[in-house]
Each structure stands twice: as structure tokens, then as C-alpha cells.
Amino acid sequence: MSESVTITDNRTGESIEIPIVNGGVDAAEWRKLLPGIWFADPGLATTASTTSAITELDGENGILRYRGYPIEQLAENSTFLEVAYLLVYGDLPNQAEHDAWIEDITTHTYVHENYRKRIFDAFHYDAHPMGLLTSGVAGLSTFYPEAKDIEDPENRLQQTVRLIAKMPTLAAAAYRHRLGQPFVFPDNNVDYPTNFLRMMWQIGGPYELDPALQKAMEILLILHADHEQNCSTTAARVVGSAHADPYSSIAAACAALYGPRHGGANEAVLNMLDEIGSYENVDAFIESVKSGEGRLMGFGHRVYKNFDPRATIIKNAAYDVFEVTGKNPRLDIALKLEEAALSDDYFVSRKLYPNVDFYSGLIYQSMGFPTEMFTVLFAIGRTPGWLSHWNEMIEQNSRIARPRQLYTGPEVRDYKPLSAR
């Protein structure tokens, strides 16, 4: 059996055989046989936009691996910053590399005071923190104009460190702006999740974090750290392919993540659970989804068609968090919703299963995060993934992203003056 496909142009009888390499066929070969005939693929559902050595995702078998390491092992044994190193460099660090990386990240956590104050003060008190974060990240490009030199690998690494380090600072600042509370400066003597949660919540006296919540935060960040060519990563790559600086590219990723079909889904799950209101209303809600009145948020995935391995890990982590915080009152509704959907042919036949967002919102809420912060947490976690892909794309010397379209608009027509229309 030949590992190839043959395409025949029935208009001319000409054929071309294209080898299957890494599970894909080269569109350049297609273009040779069929110039001007475009591959119609809305949502790029059948298009591999790149080769990538970062994350392996097998949706049929529920497999997710960063640089070859199973997500389950990383969530159990690693830390977010170690995983960030793995994504960025391609390998786990040895002790010396690990220590240097942690030192590097923790000495770049501060954001220029004038900038932080001025940019966040420009927003209304109830501005959504994703709006602040997206603008905050984009604006950093004006602080580090040298970031434009994207051809220099050392320079790219410098901006990568800065962004991973500063995301929690910007995120916490966005949160406290909303509350009208004074900003808490980063503490470079504590680990990444502890520093972030302290900046979020410390008021007055010392801040102490329960180790179970610290671990849960590490796990949540690790689970979100990368997910190959998802919508926001693609947004970063598309903008980066124009050779925009990394801050502009990552701001584009933040903007994509903000959408309720992507990073906004966990916020939407909580709103949905509130709307359902009680255990008794679950069946009626399921019926309304089936009749097309809305989607069951936190269910379904473009790639995972059996289960989302992140959802399994997160469900277990949820119980560890609830031991400390007490059970989230919405948990019973969520569990019944999950049970009802998993035994309903509508969801089963469409291969709709809980995704990472179904339980993450419940954890975040129990830890004290308001729903508006959920996508911000996702963005902090995804930053190393976005930057690894951006870096990989530059290294690949990729072409500018510029898809084609199939034009379906009017034929040519002559302009008529307003009085003649």
C-alpha cells in the first residue's frame, strides 16, 4: 500500500500523486496540478497550517503531550515554570538550567510603574480584566522597542522571559484596578503561583497560601500551557507571520482567547450554571440545548472526540481544592449536567464530552476568583505555549499567513450616483 494520495483533475484527466508525510499532504503539490483552485476549509478544520515539534495532540485517543511528555505526568510531578522551560527550549532543564530560568523569570516580574498606573487608570473601574490585559500586553511593545528585532534568538528569548514573568503582574493589577485596591508589587522570593495569588489578594498583613491551593494553581497553569494550533495560538502565529513584535502577537492571542468559544468558555460555564440555578432545572436545560436554544458550555471540542485528558485531571484537582475551600454549591448541578449529557444521544452521537473548561471555572470560583478573571488565568497559563509557537514559527522562516477565499459576491457593476439609486 502506497503512503500517498492521487488527485485527478477530471477536466483534463491529469493526475498527481502526493506522498503522505507526517500525516499530511503537501498543498504545494496540489497547487501545481490545480493552480487557482483553492481548498475550501472554513475554520481551517482540515488544514495543517504548520509543522510543529511542541505539542502532540491525539483527539481520538485523548492524548496530550508537551515535547513528548504526557500531560498527566507533568501535572502530577512538574511545576508551571519547569513546563514553560520545556515548551520554550524543547527539553526539561537540569538543575543549573532550572535555577537560572527561575531566577530569570522572577527578576522580570516588575512592570514599569508609570506604564502600569497610566494604562490601567485609563480604564473605567468595571472594565473587563481581559480588556486591560490585552491592552497591557500590546502596550509593552512600546516599552521594549528592541523586541522588533525578531531575527535575533537571544532577543526573542529575552522577550519570552519578560512576558512569562509579567503576565501575573498585569493580571493582578487588572483585578485590583477593578476593586479599587492598591496594587501589590511582585515578591521575587516566592514561587510563581504564590506570587500571583499574593498580588491578587494580599491586603495588610502577611499572605499565606494553603499548599493544596498552590498545587492546584500549578496544575491549572500546566494544563493550559499549550494546546498546539488552537484559535489564540493561530492568532499569535498569523500576526507574528507579518513580523510584528512578540507583544503585539501575544496581544492578538489574548484577544482571541477572550472569545466565549475559546478561553471565555469557563466564564460562560459558570454563567450557565447560575442560569440553570438548581439541580431540578438540569433536564429542562438539556432539552433547551437540544432544541438549539444555546450550547452546553464546557462541552465539545474541535479536536477531542472521546475525552479531554485535561478535564479528567481537573476534575480530580477540583476535589482537592474543595477539601480546603468547601464544596462549590454549583458542583451538584455540574455533575448532574455531565451525567445527563453523557447519557443523552444528542451529545453522545456528536461526540460532545466535558472539556477543560467544564470544571476549571468551579475551581477558580472556589479559590475566590471572580468569573471575569477566568480567561485571564487561562492567558497566564497559555503564554509559554503562545511564545513557543511564535518562536518556532520565526525559526521556520515561515511565510506570511495569507489564505485565499472563494468569492461569492456580485459580478462587476457600475457605480451609480446617490441621486440615481
- C-alpha 79/C-alpha 86 separation (Å) is 11
303 and 353 Cβ atoms separated by less than 8 Å? no
> 6 and 17 in contact (C-beta within 8 Å)?
yes
Q: Which of 62, 240, 298, 381 binds ligand CMC (CB under 6 A)?
A: 298
CB of 300 to ligand CMC, least distance (A): 2
Sequence letter at residue 314: I
CB nearer ligand CMC, residue 215 or residue 295:
295
Question: In the complex with ligand CMC, which residue's Cβ is closer, 106 or 229?
Answer: 229
Side-chain-facing half-sphere of 192: CA atoms under 13 Å:
32
Among this protein's residues, is 243 annotated catalytic? no
Regarding 389 and contact with ligand CMC (CB under 6 A), the answer is: no
The sign of the CA dihedral 21, 22, 23, 27 is negative
Q: What 8-state DSSP symbol labels residue 229?
A: S
Q: Which is nearer to ligand CMC, 119 or 255 (CB)?
A: 255
CA 31 to chain centre: 32
Q: Which of 129, 136, 246, 300 binds ligand CMC (CB under 6 A)?
A: 300
Q: How far is the CB of 362 from ligand CMC (least distance, A)?
A: 14
Out of 355, 365, 366, 383, the residue judged to bind ligand CMC by CB under 6 A? 355
Using alpha carbons, select from 191, 195, 154, 196 the residue that is nearest to residue 171.
196
295 near ligand CMC, rule: CB under 6 A: yes
Report the distance separating Cα 28 and Cα 20, nearest Å: 13
- Distance in Å, CB of 157 to ligand CMC, minimum: 27
Please state the closest distance from residue 271 (CB atom) to ligand CMC, in A.
Answer: 12
Pairing between strand 63-66 and 55-58?
antiparallel
User: Of these residues, 226, 245, 308, 357, which one is catalytic?
Assistant: 357
Select from 297, 314, 334, 337 the one that contacts ligand CMC (CB under 6 A).
Answer: 297
Beta strands in 218-300 (DSSP E): none
State yes or no: residue 55 binds ligand CMC (CB under 6 A): no
Q: Which of 305, 219, 226, 231 is nearest to 265 (CA)?
A: 231
Q: Which three cell numbers stand for residue 363?
A: 475551581
- Specify the stretch interacting with ligand CMC by CB under 6 A; choose among 248-256, 260-268, 360-368, 399-407: 260-268
Task: Establish if 302 lies at the interface with ligand CMC (CB under 6 A).
Answer: yes
Nearer to ligand CMC among residue 261 and residue 404 (C-beta): 261
Tell whether residue 359 is a contact of ligand CMC (CB under 6 A). Answer: no
CB of 265 to ligand CMC, least distance (A): 3
Q: Residues 282-289: contacts with CB within 8 Å, 24+ apart?
A: 282/333, 282/336, 282/337, 282/340, 283/340, 285/337, 286/337, 286/340, 286/341, 286/344, 289/346
Binding range to ligand CMC, per CB under 6 A, among 18-26, 88-96, 200-208, 261-269:
261-269
Active site (annotated) includes residue 262: yes
Give the residue with the Cβ less far from ligand CMC, 139 or 298. Answer: 298
Per-residue mark of binding to ligand CMC, 212-251 (x: CB under 6 A)? ---------------x--x---------------------
Q: How many CB atoms lie within 10 A of CB 246?
A: 29
Q: Which residues are catalytic?
A: 262, 301, 357
Q: Which residues bind ligand CMC (CB under 6 A)?
A: 227, 230, 261-262, 265, 289, 295-302, 350, 352, 355-357
